[in-house]
Structures are given as C-alpha cells and as structure tokens.
Structure 1
Amino acid sequence: MSDDTVPDSTAHALDFFAWSQTQARLLRRLPGICPDLPQALDLANVAEEIEDLGRAELAAVESQIRNILVHLVKACADPTSRAIPHWRTEATMFHAELVQRYTPSMRQRIDLHQAWRLALRVARESLREHGRDIGGEMPGTCPFRLGELVAEDFDFDQARAWLAGQRDVDPPA
C-alpha cells in the first residue's frame, strides 16, 4: 500500500506481511490525527498484535526456508542414505508451504545467511544422531538466492546436485 490515505482492499490478500506492517504504522499514528478517539481503544496494543501477525508469517517463511536447507545439506552430506526420498518429500512439502506464504515484501527481512548457518547446525546434529557427519566443507554463506528457493519450479534434486558441486567453494558475494 503506497498511499496511506486510500485503503487497498486487495492488499490484505496479496501481501499480508506488508499489509500488517502498514496497518500497525497507521494505527500508531491515529491518536495524533484523531485526538477524540475513545480512551478504551487500546491502539498501541492492537497495532502490536497486527504487526505480530505479520511477523509470524515472516517467521513461518523463514522456517520453511531453513527446513528446505537442512534437508538439502543432509542429502548432500549423505548421498547414499535411504532417507533421501523422505527428505525430498519433506522438502517438497516445505517448499509448497513456502510458496503459499512468501510475499515480495518479506525479501528485505529474510536473512538467508543466518538461515544457512542454522540449517548447517541442525543438519549436523541430525546426521550425528545417526552416526553420520556433514564431512568436507559446506559453503560459509548460503549458496542459494532467495528467488531460487521461492520459485515454483524449485527442484530438490537439482539443488542437491548443485550444492554437491559447491561443497568446497564459497559462493561469490
């Protein structure tokens, strides 16, 4: 919503995260614009709750990205595992949820490198639980771009093969 004076009835459906952040900002400005509002109207907390709903959507998207990365790392680190079909299926489900929830306004707020570091940690512990390890070096920063991960045609096996070829190389900045 670029114009704060004209509500966009489709903004809520098209980009809930942007809508929630805009609505919270507008609610916080309301007391300065309309000083005669009822005192019982708790605008500060209403704004915070709406903002939190948007942040929850963002957290869900970040979780799906992290889960996909964990499964890619495990499949790359243990390429002969019988669990690869299971990891592929789970990553496909995570990706479907990601595609449904991701909105372009989230792009600036998603830290792929943090998601990558956390995914490496989770994958390392998961593999260790089964007597395996990541072995070799994984890139120090996320080797995937956000656009690749949220694309509807994302392919787990292609991403896994590409990651396997990148294991000893840090991606360009």
Structure 2
Amino acid sequence: MPDDLYHRDILAWSTAQAERLRRVAAGGRVNDLDWATVIEEVGSVGRGEAQAVDVLLRQAMVHALNIAAWPGHSAARKWRNAITVLLVGATRRFSPSMAQYLDVPDIHAAARRQVLDLDMRALPEATDLPPAERLDESLGAEALIARLAPR
C-alpha cells in the first residue's frame, strides 16, 4: 500500500495498516502492507515518547529558572504550578529505557538559553541534578527551583 494515504490522512493510514497487521497475525496473507513505513513508524514511537519527556523536563526547568531569576515576579506562582504539572507529566511518560536518551545537562542548557533570551540575570551554567533524581517523584517544584537557583 505504498500510496500517499500516509501523507494525506495518517489516521486512515494507521487504521488500515493495523487491520492488515491483524490479518497477518491471524495467519492471513496480505500483499498491500506498507512495510517500510510501518517499520519506521514503530521505531519512531519510542523516540517520540522520549522526546516528549525531554520537552516536559525542559519546560519545567525553564519555569524553575524563571523563578530562580525572578523570585518576586507576578507569574512565579503560575510558573511553580506549571513545574508540578510538567514534572508529573514527565514522570508518567518516562520509562527506564529512555534514560539513555535523556541528556539532563543538554536539557538544562537548552532551558537556560531559552530563559537567557528573556534578558534575565545571571543563571548557573550547569546543574548538579544527578541523573537518578531527574525523574524521581520526590523532585517537586521547590527542589527543582533550589537546584537551578544562582548561588
């Protein structure tokens, strides 16, 4: 089935491919399975989940850095609440095999660059957040802010 349905309607394509795979799993013969794209899509599912965790962690760090740099800002409460939501989301989506793909120093550097573009005061160049703690459920907003605050 190497036509342009994948590009025109991904939901219709995935539904059709899933049905064909079910027929193959049941012992049926299927000649129009888009194997190359199915293989690529299966491979990309995990990468997409790891990327989603990366984005959630980066956004949590952006908010924590905002608070660290502007603790009295009127948006600080909103940022603190967002940190909690983002960390919970990252923790829920995280699986142990993702650890090798999550580069906390790189995530911090990206968040820092994003915050520095806001013309904020000096922020630490690195974080001492150990890899084991990056998605520990006990790492909440306050702990993340404290770890990222200038010393």
- When the two structures are superposed, what TM-score results if normalisation uses the length of structure 1? 0.64
Whether 2:55 is the aligned partner of 1:63: answer yes
Whether 2:77 is the aligned partner of 1:85: answer yes
Judged with a 3 Å threshold, the aligned counterparts in structure 2 of structure 1 residues 83 and 43 are, in CA distance, closer, same or farther, namely same
Residues 17-71 of structure 1: CA distance to partner in whole angstroms, max 9, x if unpaired? xxxxxxxxxxxxxxxxxxxx85533322211011112111111000001011111
Residues 94-149 of structure 1: CA distance to partner in whole angstroms, max 9, x if unpaired? 01111110000000111212211110111122x33xxxx1x23412x333123322
Separation in 2, partners of 1:142, 1:53:
29
Partner of 1:142: 127
Q: Which runs of 4+ in 1 moved over 4 A?
A: none
Deviation at 1:161, TM superposition (A): 2.3
| AA at the equivalent of 1:117 | A
Whether 2:87 is the aligned partner of 1:95: answer yes
**Helix, strand or coil for the counterpart of 1:93?**
helix
Q: CA RMSD of the aligned region, Å?
A: 1.9
Match of 2:35 among 43, 55, 66: 43
Match of 2:138 among 122, 128, 153: 153
Give the share of equivalent positions with the same residue, in percent.
28
**Helix, strand or coil for the counterpart of 1:150?**
coil
| AA at the equivalent of 1:74 | N
Judged with a 3 Å threshold, the aligned counterparts in structure 2 of structure 1 residues 63 and 74 are, in CA distance, closer, same or farther, namely same
Q: What is the number of equivalent residue pairs in this alignment?
A: 123
Partner of 2:22: none
Give unpaired runs (5+ residues) of structure 1: 1-36, 169-173
**Helix, strand or coil for the counterpart of 1:136?**
coil
Give unpaired runs (5+ residues) of structure 2: 1-28
